[in-house]
């Protein structure tokens, strides 16, 4: 397969040594070989740096970056995107993997197919497979797949929320980039703004292995989830083109269920 256009993969890492090699191997084994891999270590204390340096010595496609201070995942993704040289780019958390070696090539092909028909502002995404901490599969993330203009569905969280999709630096910057004010769901905030300007198309494959291991979002209190989801919803509500009332109702019910379930479980304890 001829790959004339390069792809940049940005991997932020903080103390994920036990998953890091699996992550990096999944990128380097892609059949789309014209890529650069930017690995940004955020002052890890678990020896992650040794792995990154070792991989960078073996494969010149890797660009290692070592922060002098802890900056957080949103800033690291942003800095990696600014450093990237690829025509297209994607991100991958260091505890996750690309599930298939054709993940990038399939997304690239979707974009090229849409561009050839005159469709512009295209972002390509794949399905998500949930993994246990040991990498064994829990099953695909259960959510309906929406394509094309998916702004309302992303805001309502009533469809698969794409992750680690293929897009361009221009699309990222036009959407305003990551908002560092949000400690969680900063990626959802960005996806809402991307969906305002772009069309999302699905490859038909599960391309991301999303690991659940008791840290990150899965360790955050439901009340904190509800708080930050609501903050981001309010911030982006004006972007909706239509059905604002319906979207507000659907989102409010979701938040209310989260809070009620949390209070119910708290009382049981």
Q: Counting Cβ atoms within 10 Å, is residue 241 exposed (0-12), middle (13-18) or buried (19+)?
A: exposed
- Mean pLDDT of all residues in 19-45: 97
What the chain holds in terms of domains, given with CATH numbers, is 1-95 (3.90.550.10), 97-164+173-269 (no CATH)
If one compares 104 and 3, the residue with the highest pLDDT of the two is: 104
Q: Output the pLDDT for position 1.
A: 45
Query: pTM of the entire structure?
Result: 0.93
46 closest CA partner among 19, 83, 24:
19
Q: Map residue 6 onto helix, strand or coil.
A: coil
Q: Output the pLDDT for position 2.
A: 47
47: left (phi over 0), alpha (psi -120 to 50) or beta: left
> For residue 158, is pLDDT > 90?
yes
> For residue 3, is pLDDT > 60?
no
Range with the poorest average pLDDT among 41-50, 59-68, 168-177, 209-218? 209-218
Please say whether the dihedral angle defined by the alpha carbons of residues 36, 41, 47 and 53, taken in this order, is positive or negative. Answer: positive
Judge whether 36 and 8 are in contact, CB under 8 Å: yes
Cα pseudo-dihedral 189, 190, 196, 201, rounded to 10? -120
CA 131 – CA 142 distance, rounded (Å) = 13
- Mean pLDDT of all residues in 129-152: 95
> For residue 209, is pLDDT > 80?
yes
Q: How far apart are the first and last CA of the chain?
A: 57
> For residue 269, is pLDDT > 90?
no
CA atoms within 13 A on the CB side of 208: 27
Buried-exposed string 219-237: b where 16+ CB fall within 10 A, e elsewhere: eeebeebbebbeebbeebe
Residue indicated by tokens 């090699």: 21
- Mean pLDDT of all residues in 82-107: 97
> For residue 76, is pLDDT > 50?
yes
């Amino acid at each position: 397969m001829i790959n004339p256009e390069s792809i940049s993969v940005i991997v932020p890492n903080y103390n994920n040594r036990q998953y890091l090699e699996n992550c990096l191997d999944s990128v380097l084994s892609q059949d789309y070989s014209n890529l650069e891999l930017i690995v940004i270590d955020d002052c890890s204390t678990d020896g992650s740096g040794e792995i990154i340096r070792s991989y960078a010595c073996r494969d010149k496609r890797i660009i290692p970056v070592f922060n002098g201070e802890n900056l957080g995942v949103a800033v690291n993704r942003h800095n990696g995107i600014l450093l990237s040289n690829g025509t297209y780019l994607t991100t991958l958390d260091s505890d996750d993997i690309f599930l298939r070696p054709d993940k990038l090539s399939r997304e690239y092909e979707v974009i090229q197919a849409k561009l050839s028909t005159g469709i512009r502002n295209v972002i390509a995404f794949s399905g998500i497979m949930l993994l246990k901490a040991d990498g064994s599969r829990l099953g695909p993330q259960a959510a309906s797949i929406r394509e094309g203009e998916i702004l309302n569905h992303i805001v309502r969280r009533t469809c698969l929320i794409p992750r680690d999709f293929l897009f361009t630096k221009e699309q990222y910057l036009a959407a305003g980039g990551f908002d560092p004010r949000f400690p969680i769901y900063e990626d959802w905030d960005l996806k809402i703004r991307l969906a305002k300007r772009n069309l999302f198309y699905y490859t038909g494959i599960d391309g991301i292995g999303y690991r659940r291991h008791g840290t990150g979002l899965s360790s955050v209190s439901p009340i904190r989830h509800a708080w930050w989801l609501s903050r981001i919803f309010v911030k982006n509500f004006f972007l909706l083109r239509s059905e604002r009332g319906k979207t507000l109702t659907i989102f409010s019910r979701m938040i209310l269920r989260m809070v009620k379930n949390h209070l119910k479980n708290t009382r049981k304890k």
